[in-house]
A and B are shown apart, each in its own frame.
Chain A
Amino acid sequence: MSNEIELIKDPGLPAHVHRSTDTDPKAAARAERQVAILFGLSALGTITLIYSYIFIKDDVFVFIPILGQTHLQQLGIGLGMALALFCIGAGLIHWAKTLMPDEEVIAQRHEFRSEDEDRSEFIKTVKEGASAAGLGRRPLIKTTLGAALGLSALSPILLLRDLGPLPKDDLSKTSWKAGTRLVTDPGDRPLRPEDLEVGAVAQTLPEIEAGAHRSLADIGKDAVLLIRLRPEEFNLDAERLSWTHEGIIAFSKICSHMGCAVALYEQQTKHLLCPCHQSTFDVTRAAKVIFGPSARPLPQLAITVDADGYLVAQAPFTEPVGPSFWERSS
């Protein structure tokens, strides 16, 4: 035994130390008063709440350091409620900590594993039950039950089918057609090239009939950003250059990454930045992705002017706008 390693021993639960409230009646009375004061403060909080709700006018704002201009009624109701609730809690806990018993108690745990006898009987019951049902001996029942259960799971899926229409080619199409005028958003005013100075940006949508309703789904596909540069600043091939008009270039405003509006244009660098995930597109190179997670340039809309001198689309978008999807071919 002598060469066996001896471990340090458990000294057992430390002796209980009495609190002052256990031994000194004065301290106990003091603690009782403190608890009562906390409950009293809580009542004060509720009164503040009621007063603020009824008597503080709805249009009163006060300046409070750090918070700034603050709606007084809202603040009064909130602070009253906070005080009312917090003090009930503080009172209860103070009571428990100072006046309720604080002697630690030991309870025994039971092992979760049942007695061997119960356990083996349980296992036997399960086995007997399983064999009484005879699933193993009757493969026909097993197979057909499995198939029936599997098939029945299809019905909830099927019943959800009418949640929405099939996509068809909806994701690939926009409202832009050859000759559609570009109108400002908001305002719905058609634009002439001279309305845009060099360096300017405009958000546009396809023109619709007066009084017609424009759905958000349409805006989500049709939003187009116009940017005017000096024509010599472009670095485009001949075809893409022919899609611009007097230095005005048009891109889909819907990000090719996840569909946010590509709303930030940096005039100095001529970069478009999507504020959601920071995909950055170079306007001079047909919105080529120069940074960030997007894998495709923003689709470019070919534009020109019509007989009245207004900017129009030369043709529809040549590719789907917005984020990628499985059926997209490029």
Chain B
Amino acid sequence: MTARERIAGNVAGYVDDRTGAAKWMKKNLTKVFPDHWSFLLGEICLYSFVILLLSGTFLTFWFDPSMREVVYEGSYEPLKGLEMSAAYASTLDISFEVRGGLLMRQIHHWAALIFMVGIVVHLMRVYFTGAFRKPREFNWIIGVGLLTLGIVEGFLGYSLPDDLLSGTGIRIAEAIIQALPLVGSYLAFFAFDGAFPGTAFIPRIYTVHVLLLPGIFLALITVHLMLVWYQKHTQFPGPGRTEKNVVGYPLMPVYMAKAGGFFFIVFGVTAFLGAVASINPIWLYGPYTPGQVSAGSQPDWYMGWLDGLVRMAPPIETHALGHTISWNILIPGLILPGIMFTGLALYPFIESWATGDKREHHLLDRPRNTPNRTAIGVMALTFTLVSLINGGNDIIATTFHLTINQMMWFSRIAIIVLPPIAFIITKRLCLSLQRADRDLVLHGRETGRLVRMPSGEFVEVHEPISAEKAWLLTSHEQLAPLELPEHDASGVRRAGLIKNKIRNRVSRAAAVAVPKATETERRELEGHH
């Protein structure tokens, strides 16, 4: 035993004497994690969250969350002598007087964007591979919660500097609150301590941004990770991998080094972006006043789809019995997002209801093998993407010399027409890929080598694929559709049976597949050759 090993042993012994953790640690230090690049997406979110906590704490040392009016006396000439809120003035000071302050602001903002991109792409990975299935439904719901809170947290964060752009965003948020039937104007007056903008909202959203929401984030992320740990990570199908095992590398030392190293890489990349890529140059916008606005006002991207929906809404308001309901705000601002996020959160339960599959799943699906799910996902993404594009319709119009009307009408039509088309195309593509897989297993790989037969005929030589590859392409399950009774014994339909009819329909759609290749078919083909 070397001296170093003895020290390591002493440390472990010291810890165990005081905690009795040996049994637990022994098991967990050698915990196996499967390897795949897409499993890093969630890690990116975690690390950018840590970066946000660190850079955010730095910013709080100088930021003054107050709407007290001050006269700017700092070193940025164009704004000198102007009246502005202390929040805006202190953000300018962080940018111009504190060494590394602008860098930290930019790191904080970039990390927020990366955090949100990470969440969305991680969510897509989990969705398209079916990682949300039993037993991981809780973690799916927590994830949807983190996505929702992330959007709110980001919005509040970029509203804090109280510049002209962010104030405009707050104005729009206020209009959404104000549009609520019955309680809207009351809630708006409570939130802003009177008429918009008042002098209260910066200190208030500051507390929510730096204390309340980060606290909830920490709690949710902890539970999210503990569940991943306890339930063990899912893995992609492949030779040697089953529903009952995990194939990968042990936590200590490989994953500690890899995951720890990846944290530094994410931080390094964020710092690089903060150093060279300017983001949210608030000094160009000026202090907020409700009477002004800058052309080309754009929210951060994770709010863009919401803004896009609001932009394309038809101009409908109801005036009746002395009251007003603004459908042009309520539908895109609250009702549609409500449906989108509820549907997202409930998806695992909807799918399990439709397919009747209540078993545990630890092997991931290849997206092509679940054409219905994949197509629904692409459909939802198409919807969101069209709204996001419309959120930048003014920028796109000026960049490509279109009129804003053309852009708006494109989006209004596309948001209805494109998602179903995306569904159909995706489903067909998935089935084609299944057919290609089947072909590959049965007939082998095309080698590009042409051979002339004695009869004069030319054929291309096919090479059989490896046993590993053949297993990968055929190891998935193909579920049979549910066949629930639709009529009772006397042939009468009842309410519960109509539900069965719907379930049968949906499950038939979900079960559409190209039959996978089997060993039997392979043999038969060999017999023919």
Contacts and interface: CB of A to CB of B under 8 A. Distances in A.
Contacts of B323: 326-329
Interface in A61-90: 67, 71, 73-75, 77-79, 81-90
A258 interface: yes
A83 B186 CA distance: 52
Contacts of B367: none
Given A9-B519, A106-B247, A276-B172, A254 B474 contact: no
Interface in B506-521: 517-520
B200 interface: yes
13 contacts: A5-B518, A11-B471, A82-B274, A88-B261, A109-B244, A166-B186, A203-B291, A217-B197, A221-B195, A259-B171, A292-B311, A326-B181, A326-B183
B275 A263 contact: no
Given A82-B272, A171-B178, A278-B311, 18 more contacts: A7-B518, A8-B471, A10-B471, A14-B240, A14-B468, A89-B261, A91-B261, A93-B258, A97-B258, A106-B245, A108-B246, A112-B360, A261-B291, A263-B293, A275-B295, A293-B315, A322-B175, A323-B179
B211 to A, nearest CB: 16
A210 B30 CA distance: 76
A104 B255 CA distance: 12
A89 B269 CA distance: 10
Interface stretch (A19-27, A156-164, A308-316): A156-164
Nearest to B106: A78
Interface residues of A, number: 97
Interface string A204-218: 010000000000110
A187 interface: no
Interface stretch (B97-105, B215-223, B341-349, B491-499): B97-105
Interface string A1-34: 0000111111111100000000000000000000
A74 B310 CA distance: 38
Contacts of A323: 175, 178-179, 326, 329
Contacts of A106: 32, 240, 245-247
A71 B102 contact: yes
Contacts of B394: 275, 278
B189 A166 contact: yes
Contacts of B311: 277-278, 292-293
B231 interface: yes
Contacts of B174: 259
Interface of A: 5-14, 53, 58, 67, 71, 73-75, 77-79, 81-93, 95-97, 100-102, 104-109, 111-112, 160-161, 163-167, 170-171, 185, 203, 205, 216-217, 219-221, 223, 253-254, 257-261, 263-264, 273-279, 289, 291-296, 322-330
Contacts, number: 335
B260 A100 contact: no
Contacts of A90: 261, 264-265
Given A163-B190, A164-B200, A205 B261 contact: no
B519 A14 contact: no
Interface of B: 30-32, 99-100, 102-103, 106, 135, 168, 171-172, 174-176, 178-186, 188-198, 200, 231-232, 239-240, 242-250, 253-254, 257-258, 260-269, 271-272, 274-276, 288-297, 307, 310-317, 319, 322-326, 328-329, 332, 360, 362, 393-394, 404-405, 408, 441, 467-468, 470-471, 474-475, 517-520, 522-523
Contacts of B240: 10-14, 106
A90 B257 CA distance: 10
B172 A67 contact: no
Contacts of B249: 101-102, 104-105
A256 to B, nearest CB: 9
B102 A11 contact: no
Contacts of A327: 185, 322-324
Given A7-B474, A89-B263, A326 B253 contact: no
Contacts of A112: 135, 231, 360
Contact of B172 (A102, A216, A260): A260
A78 B103 contact: yes
B4 to A, nearest CB: 16
Given A10-B475, A326-B184, A292 B290 contact: no
A262 B240 CA distance: 64
A14 B241 CA distance: 11
A86 B325 CA distance: 53
Contacts of A276: 168, 172, 293, 297
A203 B291 CA distance: 8
Given A112-B135, A223-B291, A259 B519 contact: no
Count chain A CB atoms within 10 A of each CB in B103, B471, B523 and give the residue with the most: B103
B477 to A, nearest CB: 11
B260 A86 contact: no
B189 A53 contact: no
Nearest to A83: B268
Contacts of A111: 360
A85 B475 contact: no
A105 B267 CA distance: 30
Contacts of A166: 186, 189
* Pairs of residues from A and B, 4 with the lowest C-beta to C-beta distance, nearest first: A78-B275, A86-B268, A92-B261, A89-B264
Count chain B CB atoms within 10 A of each CB in A13, A74, A170 and give the residue with the most: A74
Contact of A295 (B200, B293, B326): B326
A53 to B, nearest CB: 6
